[in-house]
């Protein structure tokens, strides 16, 4: 599901004195792969302190207009800069209360958390924390959710593309998009639920209770089953395949359904 369409070229301001480290490089690379534009704050000079980062961050907020900020808590080894990130956070929130900020921190606890929590609860602000050891995938996923951007289209494996705005699903064949006309109405609604859940979180299951409103009749569970089967057949036909019980749309232990990326 990695594609340029996810980030859509949005700028991410990266404020971390360790931006040259291998760990941060892997995050920066991941951001680029997913179509984001990382903008790294890197003050120049000999003795750079947290204050230099603060000044340059606020300047970059004005000039670069990022969609979100990735911010470290600790700057340098000076004791006074141990929580510099939190004061930078405060300044960011003061200047733009709705700016999404993802903080790299091991300090998501204790008295220092208060500043960040207060900030995250301020008007429209969205602040989230993540451990620096988190995988680059996790970082980008959190950032994506924090920005709250919905993609133009959700790709399902390399075979399908779901376009919620235009209420359409396409089969992809060698880069060509072919509209699947058979899938409309309730079936499209069901696919929308499943694709959105998959986009939000890979492990998210759509429980029966949520899907049953797209089916009717006395035995709504059975009618839902029929709809899902039809949906699966229609999708399969479009790419000349037949999807088995454990492919594409799967019934998880009678809890609900889940969309999984099909193999190529």
Partner 1 sequence: MNGRIFEILRMVGIAVALIGLLLVVLSPLIGESITRGSLWWIEPVAYIGSGVFILGALVAFGAIQFNTRRIAEQSGSRTWSQITQDYFDTFAHDMGRPLRRILGKQREARALLNETGEVTQHMVSELLTEIENQAPNFRLMIENVRVLVDLEDADAEPAIEPVDVAAIVRNVSDRYTPIARERGLELVWWCEPSEFGLVYGDGSALDHVITNLVDNATKFAEGHIEIQLTRTENSYLVRVWDDGVGISESHLAHVFDRGWTPELSARSEKQSSGLGLFIASTLSEHCGGELLVESQQSNGASTGEHSTTFTLSLPLDIRPAATN
Closer residue to partner 1, CB minimum distance, 182 or 212: 212
Bin 167: left if φ > 0, else alpha if -120 < ψ < 50, else beta.
Answer: left
Q: Is 95 in the site for partner 1 (CB under 8 A)?
A: no
Kindly state the number of chain residues that form the binding site for partner 1, as judged by CB under 8 A. 44
Which of 45, 123, 133, 254 is in the footprint of partner 1 by CB under 8 A?
Answer: 133
CA 149 to chain centre: 8
User: What is the chain's length?
Assistant: 264
Which stretch, 56-64, 133-141, 151-159, 225-233, contacts partner 1 (CB under 8 A)? 133-141
Binder of partner 1 out of 181, 200, 221, 237 (CB under 8 A): 200
Among 1, 134, 168, 239, binds partner 1 (CB under 8 A): 134
256 binds partner 1 (CB under 8 A): yes
Q: Closer to partner 1 at the Cβ: 153 or 198?
A: 198
The stretch among 40-48, 50-58, 105-113, 150-158 that binds partner 1 (CB under 8 A) is 105-113
State in angstroms the smallest separation of the CB of 142 from partner 1: 7
Q: Does 201 interact with partner 1 (rule: CB under 8 A)?
A: yes
Contacts 24+ apart (CB under 8 A), 8-11: 8/35, 8/149, 8/151, 8/152, 9/35, 9/36, 9/37, 10/35, 10/36, 10/37, 10/66, 10/67, 10/68, 10/147, 10/149, 11/36, 11/37, 11/38, 11/39, 11/64, 11/65, 11/66, 11/67
* Phi, psi values for residue 222, rounded to 5°: -70, -40
Q: Does the footprint of partner 1 cover residue 121 (CB under 8 A)? A: yes
151 sits near partner 1 (criterion: CB under 8 A): no
């Amino acid at each position: 599901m990695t594609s340029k369409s996810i980030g859509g070229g949005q700028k991410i301001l990266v404020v971390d004195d360790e931006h040259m480290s291998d760990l941060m490089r892997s995050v920066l690379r991941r951001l680029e792969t997913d179509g984001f534009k990382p903008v790294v704050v890197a003050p120049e000079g000999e003795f750079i302190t947290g204050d230099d980062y603060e000044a340059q961050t606020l300047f970059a907020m004005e000039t670069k207009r990022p969609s979100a900020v990735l911010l470290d808590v600790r700057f340098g080894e000076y004791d006074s800069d141990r929580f510099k990130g939190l004061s930078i956070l405060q300044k960011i929130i003061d200047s733009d209360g709705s700016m999404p900020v993802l903080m790299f921190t091991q300090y998501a606890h204790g008295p220092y958390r208060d500043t960040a929590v207060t900030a995250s609860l301020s008007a429209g602000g969205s602040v989230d924390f993540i451990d620096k050891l988190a995988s680059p995938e996790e970082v980008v996923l959190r950032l994506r959710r924090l920005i709250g951007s919905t993609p133009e289209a959700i790709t399902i494996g390399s075979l399908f593309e779901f376009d919620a705005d235009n209420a359409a699903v396409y089969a992809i064949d060698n880069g060509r998009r072919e509209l699947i006309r058979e899938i409309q109405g309730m079936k499209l609604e069901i696919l929308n639920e499943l694709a959105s859940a998959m986009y939000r979180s890979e492990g998210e299951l759509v429980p029966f209770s949520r899907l049953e409103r797209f089916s009717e009749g006395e035995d709504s569970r059975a009618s839902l089953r029929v709809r899902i089967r039809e949906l699966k057949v229609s999708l399969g036909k479009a790419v000349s395949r037949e999807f088995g019980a454990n492919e594409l749309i799967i019934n998880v232990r009678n809890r609900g359904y889940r969309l999984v990326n099909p193999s190529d």
